[in-house]
Amino acid sequence: MNEPSVYFVGEPTEVSHHAAPFRERLNVKIASPATVVQQANSGDLAIFYSEHFDRFRDCCTELKRNNVATLYLIDGILEWRNAWDNLPDEVACPYTMRPILAHKAACIGASQAHVLNQWSNSGKTEVVGIPRLDAIPAQPHPPRNDREFRVLVMTAKTPGFTPTQIDTVEESLQDLKQWTNDNAQLNLTNPLPSTDSLKIKVVWRLTGGLADKLGVTNELNDLTGQELNQTLAQVDAVITTASTAMLEAMRLGIPTALLDYHNCPRYVNAGWTISAARQIPTVVTQLAQPTPEHLFYQQTQLCDALQNSANATDRLVDLVEQMLAIASKQLAVEPKLNENSLAFPDAILEPAETASPLFSHRQLYPDTAEFKQTQPVETQAQLAHSRREIAHLLSEQAQLRAELDEAHQIFEQIEKHPIAGPIVRVRQKMLGLMEKMGKRKNKLDGTCPIIEPEPLNSNADFTTNNTN
């Protein structure tokens, strides 16, 4: 019996960089949709990188009819505008992923799988990650010692899906360009030992002809991901429209802001957001000096959006091999399986260990001395002593309250005394009156003007003020 074949559906220019991480391990054949339909046999497997266009959708439907296993390898984030706000005459299917056509979908992270399950895909999703990122070490770049703050400003491969969306993206970029032109130096809120400001340098990486519209030098020459990796290694912060590239930046620990003027829901968040021009100064300053809590939030968002704890290529290879094995068993039991009858279990892969960021009190509260303790015994001794001091303070507080209650009781008895009571009440009234007079005097001495009486006229009428 021949070994089943694995196909990656698409032209080489479209899918080669997607297939590169696992192509040799799975002996993948890259072929157009029409070629795959002609060559694939029952029990083979076809991987899709898109279900947006009819050539892929028709191919997937035909392969399923012929009992070829199908897998949708999702390589990017979900984006609201792409999912819900397309033009009425858009050539892409407006119902893409609702539901997914393929037997299974390899998701990039848990949050994506959760959303897709809500889109009528329960049982189809498997969390894999992004295989092409496996070759890039997820190591934060060490801070540089120069006085330049380099910001990468970029847009997604498709900056907008309607003319209005593209205009909105251009407006946000124009605001950013104007501010950086007006602010060549960035004043730091917490000055560094060597300087209290940094020179701002913007690296533009724009798609859709936006660089020409803005009149800036575009650093974009390649969209396969290799050039972006090199660029990320040379910048201190990233400002981007909604794009998978934001996850790549966050994965390297680079402070990342989402440039989003669209006011629509977001399926993936960054550590910072710029949704209006007035927010640019504050966000850029924070990107230059990110707080621990901001970086911690950024890492929590990354862990939800991207499976980054296990090797994505290994998980994908495991998923493909298990799907082939399941299909083979079904065909062995029933060689002439009815059309479109291949079925796969809801969960094929074991859940990947959740890679939650470490909640470090020492990092999140650097000014709190107690969290700097490194010796457990010393910390325990300090805690025991603190509790002892608190117990003493509570005891003194209880004693003072008891004495105050006793004083109140004595005072109530005096007030009820037939002789002393009236004297005490008169004294209280006098003290209250004196207090009011003092407040009035202070008010007059302060802000209230004192009106002097006019001198008396000897011929004036003391009883009437005739104004006729």
CB 69 within 8 A of CB 324: yes
**Average pLDDT rounded to a whole number, residues 397-407:** 87
**Average pLDDT rounded to a whole number, residues 242-258:** 95
Measured at the CA of 280, the angle between CA 171 and CA 275, to 5 degrees, comes to 55
Q: What's the one-letter identity of residue 450?
A: I
Give the model's pLDDT for residue 197.
79
**Average pLDDT rounded to a whole number, residues 40-54:** 96
Quickly list DSSP for 136-186: S---PPPPP-SSEEEEEEE--SS--SSHHHHHHHHHHHHHHHHHHHH-SEE
Work out the burial of residue 432: count CB atoms within 10 Å of its CB; fewer than 13 is exposed, 13-18 middle, 19 or more buried.
Answer: exposed
Across 78-82, 298-302, 455-459, least confident range: 455-459
Q: Which position has the higher pLDDT, 65 or 385?
A: 65
* Domains of the chain by residue range: 6-134+311-333, 148-307, 376-434
Give the model's pLDDT for residue 467.
43
For all residues of the chain together, what is the average pLDDT? 87
Give the model's pLDDT for residue 235.
94
Q: Tell whether the model's pLDDT for residue 68 goes beyond 80.
A: yes
Q: State the pLDDT confidence band at 1, using cuts at 50, 70 and 90.
A: low
Structure confidence by residue, pLDDT tens digits, 308-356: 888 999 999 999 999 999 999 999 888 777 888 899 999 999 988 766 6
User: At 444, which helix (H) or strand (E)?
Assistant: helix 420-446
Give the model's pLDDT for residue 413.
78
In terms of Cα–Cα distance, which of 210, 226, 56 is closest to 136?
A: 226
Q: Which position has the higher pLDDT, 392 or 116?
A: 116
Strand duo 197-205 + 185-187: pairing: antiparallel
CA dist 79 and 289 (Å) reads 29
First and final C-alpha spacing in the chain: 126
User: At 115, which helix (H) or strand (E)?
Assistant: helix 110-116
Give the model's pLDDT for residue 190.
72
Give the model's pLDDT for residue 461.
41
Q: Give residues with Cβ within 8 angstroms of 203, minimum separation 6.
A: 150, 151, 152, 153, 219, 231, 234, 235
Q: Tell whether the model's pLDDT for residue 408 goes beyond 90.
A: no
Domains 6-134+311-333 and 148-307 share a fold: yes
Q: Tell whether the model's pLDDT for residue 449 goes beyond 60.
A: no
With pLDDT > 70 as the criterion, what percentage of the chain qualifies?
Answer: 87
Q: Is the domain covering 148-307 a CATH 3.40.50.2000 domain?
A: yes
Across 67-76, 84-93, 165-174, least confident range: 84-93
Q: State the pLDDT confidence band at 360, using cuts at 50, 70 and 90.
A: low
CA 187 to chain centroid, in Å, comes to 25
Give the model's pLDDT for residue 215.
96
Q: State the pLDDT confidence band at 423, using cuts at 50, 70 and 90.
A: confident
**Average pLDDT rounded to a whole number, residues 12-31:** 94
What residues are paired with 153 via a beta bridge? Answer: 204, 239
Give the model's pLDDT for residue 443.
66
How many residues comprise the chain? 468
How far lies 6's CA from each of 147, 338, 373, in Å?
52, 22, 56
Structure confidence by residue, pLDDT tens digits, 253-287: 999 999 999 999 999 999 999 999 999 999 999 99
Q: Which position has the higher pLDDT, 334 or 14?
A: 14
Give me the sheet containing 104-107, strands edge to edge.
28-31, 6-9, 45-48, 69-73, 104-107, 125-127
CA dist 87 and 128 (Å) reads 31
Q: Tell whether the model's pLDDT for residue 375 goes beyond 50.
A: yes
CB 313 within 8 A of CB 31: no
CB 279 within 8 A of CB 322: no
Give the model's pLDDT for residue 224.
73
Give the model's pLDDT for residue 361.
66
Half-sphere exposure of residue 449, counting CA atoms within 13 Å on the CB side? 3
Q: Tell whether the model's pLDDT for residue 125 goes beyond 90.
A: yes
Q: Tell whether the model's pLDDT for residue 365 goes beyond 80.
A: no
Half-sphere exposure of residue 4, counting CA atoms within 13 Å on the CB side? 24
Identify which of 88-97, 131-140, 259-268, 429-438 has the greatest average pLDDT: 259-268
CA dist 155 and 214 (Å) reads 13
Identify which of 85-99, 126-140, 232-246, 385-399 has the greatest average pLDDT: 232-246
Give the model's pLDDT for residue 465.
43
Q: What is the DSSP letter of 135?
A: T
Q: State the pLDDT confidence band at 184, using cuts at 50, 70 and 90.
A: confident
Query: How crowded is residue 124: how many other Cβ atoms within 10 Å of its Cβ?
Result: 22
Q: Tell whether the model's pLDDT for residue 139 goes beyond 50.
A: yes
The CATH homologous superfamily for domain 6-134+311-333 is Glycogen Phosphorylase B; (3.40.50.2000)
Q: What are the tokens at 411?
A: 């005072």
CB 354 within 8 A of CB 113: no
Residue ranges of E strands in 23-122: 28-31, 45-48, 69-73, 104-107
Give the model's pLDDT for residue 371.
67
Give the model's pLDDT for residue 464.
39
Half-sphere exposure of residue 64, counting CA atoms within 13 Å on the CB side? 19
With pLDDT > 90 as the criterion, what percentage of the chain qualifies?
Answer: 59
Give the model's pLDDT for residue 364.
65
